[in-house]
Chain A
């Protein structure tokens, strides 16, 4: 028997059903032990559920990496206010595409996690805030919720227990900022998605002023298996002591085999790009840079890709794991043009509350546009860093950082490229060719 390659997980957790026909239906979910974990959760105390999730150390997979169990433990016990669970399915960070596949391919796995979370914090009402643009994902999650009601998993008596459980699927309407947890709450309340000042934190004062837990899709999806098989099992799936479990990794950009892969935790970025992703798309082109986990992360240069791809270790190379979806960039790509595109996005998506983000984003875009089109000056290059530094840390939410981090890190890593645009009075790079890449890999994106 051949040895299992290092990048192959011991066991598939998230994707075990993805390849099966009708993987999104209750029947398929139940055929692999679906909703057994929820049944088990009903026999456990709230504290025991939270302890198990805490022990597993599963961390927030929307990008922040905050321990899921700890977030739940902040919700006050008892009290006369209702409590809410909100699922952040507003996946819109550029370069990120893992949650959509969970919603499309195994929505019941998410529903089970949501139900367990409700039981743990004594909530009876959950909202799944799904991105408005998602068509198939919305239909699949809504159909799964309907199926769960019909099967008595949700409703007045969830799983036949004396416990009412309601899940409402709420569609967003096209605003990146609603992925920010407090903006998401505002949007759920029928308002513009403008982030709230914290404190008070949502665990104390969230949706409709009530204690609320907000978790990412992947984080909640992990909860079912953790309750079913235990924290120790979850930890054993990873090479990393600190961060257990498997991880959905969405590889895109100039990589030979883009796609969503389920991988054991604790691999290096190099292993992910070369062993999993098959290396560069064009074998004659070298790696220029990696955006590790969504476009707001600071850029990582090829000399740093031997770092372990997890929340803690990515900080040692000055970046983040973020959403866990690396975007691979080959040489010959113009970083000014790429940054200009990203900043146009962040400037456009600013909710307009905080001056540094609202004004700074547009200002950065104008400068980048100038540099790219050949009318920039050397002072402009310095100005990018200066404006970036004045946005970072000066806004209510992290959209300020999402604008500042790429700007400052691209300029720091590729300064000579920005200056070359100024000296040569224009962009020295060709337009990127239209090239579709064949599907491949362990889990195909279809």
Chain B
């Protein structure tokens, strides 16, 4: 009833729909938009999306529940997803997960009582050469050690009040990809082939932050 997209989100939705030859094809991006707008996809939000695209609520519901990234319930403000699949597993991600559970005092799939942190086990996130890694919203943190993890958690805890209850992934600033700041792995000892300026990208990526 009362639930409505904000004016800007409404406009954004129209622009999305215009990109597809059929209105219902815009369902996935529409759900991404709705989740950004309303934090999570409650049944009411799903109904709103259905109405906006002129499709049945059950169609929206089956798509919402099929895909991992759509959440029907509120997540922790910082949703930490640690990859434990093959390459990260080989880099000791299980140890990191054990450490994370102990540090946060929660199990996989749970949230801390204050709602600040959520912990999930992630599937391979295509960062296999730089594992173990964890994802928080748009950000990739690579080469994660237990010390680096603790430092990240500390930073997030300090940042939490400034989010005003919103989720970290809803922020507008650019994505981070690379080691947790201050915990860069040591320089390579053996540099092979034409390694030339290959280190520059990392620094420029950081500048964007």
Taking A171-B28, A438-B188 as contacts, is the C-beta distance between A260 and B202 under 8 angstroms? no
Min distance, Cβ B72 to any Cβ of chain A, angstroms = 13
Establish whether residues B90 and A254, one from each chain, have CB atoms under 8 Å apart when the complex forms. Answer: yes
In the bound complex, what is the Cα–Cα distance between A20 and B53 (angstroms)? 43
Min distance, Cβ B49 to any Cβ of chain A, angstroms = 11
Taking A100-B126, A434-B132 as contacts, is the C-beta distance between A190 and B197 under 8 angstroms? no
Min distance, Cβ B128 to any Cβ of chain A, angstroms = 4
Establish whether residues A441 and B92, one from each chain, have CB atoms under 8 Å apart when the complex forms. Answer: no
Nearest chain B residue, comparing its CB with the CB of A178: B67
With an 8 A cutoff between CB atoms, is A366 at the interface? Answer: no
With an 8 A cutoff between CB atoms, is A444 at the interface? Answer: yes
Establish whether residues B129 and A97, one from each chain, have CB atoms under 8 Å apart when the complex forms. Answer: yes
In the bound complex, what is the Cα–Cα distance between A287 and B55 (angstroms)? 54
With an 8 A cutoff between CB atoms, is A433 at the interface? Answer: yes
Q: What's the A-B contact tally at a CB cutoff of 8 Å?
A: 251
In the bound complex, what is the Cα–Cα distance between A193 and B192 (angstroms)? 42
B-chain residues with CB within 8 Å of residue A434 when the two chains form the complex: 91-93, 95-96, 99, 132, 145-146
With an 8 A cutoff between CB atoms, is B73 at the interface? Answer: no
Mask for A157-185, Cβ within 8 A of B = 1, else 0?
A: 00000000000101111111000000000
In the bound complex, what is the Cα–Cα distance between A253 and B62 (angstroms)? 37
Min distance, Cβ A325 to any Cβ of chain B, angstroms = 7
In the bound complex, what is the Cα–Cα distance between A96 and B131 (angstroms)? 12
Min distance, Cβ A262 to any Cβ of chain B, angstroms = 9
The bracket for how many chain A residues form the interface is 35 or more
Establish whether residues B21 and A208, one from each chain, have CB atoms under 8 Å apart when the complex forms. Answer: yes
Q: How many residues of B contact A (CB 8 A)?
A: 81
Establish whether residues B204 and A435, one from each chain, have CB atoms under 8 Å apart when the complex forms. Answer: no
In the bound complex, what is the Cα–Cα distance between A433 and B178 (angstroms)? 21
Establish whether residues B90 and A139, one from each chain, have CB atoms under 8 Å apart when the complex forms. Answer: no
In the bound complex, what is the Cα–Cα distance between A93 and B87 (angstroms)? 11
Establish whether residues A99 and B92, one from each chain, have CB atoms under 8 Å apart when the complex forms. Answer: no
Establish whether residues A438 and B28, one from each chain, have CB atoms under 8 Å apart when the complex forms. Answer: no
In the bound complex, what is the Cα–Cα distance between A21 and B199 (angstroms)? 9
In the bound complex, what is the Cα–Cα distance between A176 and B94 (angstroms)? 22
Taking A438-B187, A439-B185 as contacts, is the C-beta distance between A432 and B193 under 8 angstroms? no
With an 8 A cutoff between CB atoms, is B186 at the interface? Answer: yes
Please provide the chain B residues from 20 to 54 with a CB less than 8 Å away from any CB of chain A in the complex.
20-22, 24-29, 31-32, 53
B-chain residues with CB within 8 Å of residue A325 when the two chains form the complex: 128
A-chain residues with CB within 8 Å of residue B193 when the two chains form the complex: 5, 8, 441-442
B-chain residues with CB within 8 Å of residue A278 when the two chains form the complex: 190, 192
Establish whether residues A341 and B86, one from each chain, have CB atoms under 8 Å apart when the complex forms. Answer: yes
B-chain residues with CB within 8 Å of residue A251 when the two chains form the complex: 129
Please provide the chain B residues from 176 to 192 with a CB less than 8 Å away from any CB of chain A in the complex.
176-178, 185-192
State which of A192, A258, A431 has its C-beta within 8 Å of the C-beta of B130: A258
Give 7 closest A-B pairs by Cβ, nearest first. A135-B138, A174-B68, A440-B188, A190-B27, A434-B92, A135-B175, A446-B202
Question: Can you list 17 A-B contacts (CB < 8 A)?
Answer: A94-B87, A94-B123, A97-B128, A133-B125, A134-B126, A135-B135, A136-B138, A174-B67, A174-B70, A252-B128, A253-B90, A257-B188, A257-B190, A338-B89, A341-B84, A438-B186, A444-B195
B interface list, Cβ under 8 A from A:
19-22, 24-29, 31-32, 53, 55, 59, 62-63, 66-70, 84-87, 89-96, 99, 122-132, 135, 137-140, 142-146, 174-178, 185-202, 204-205
Q: Taking A5-B193, A133-B125, A436-B145 as given, write out 10 further A-B residue pairs in contact, using a Cβ cutoff of 8 Å, ordered by the A residue number.
A: A91-B126, A94-B124, A96-B126, A171-B29, A258-B129, A260-B129, A278-B192, A291-B86, A434-B93, A441-B192
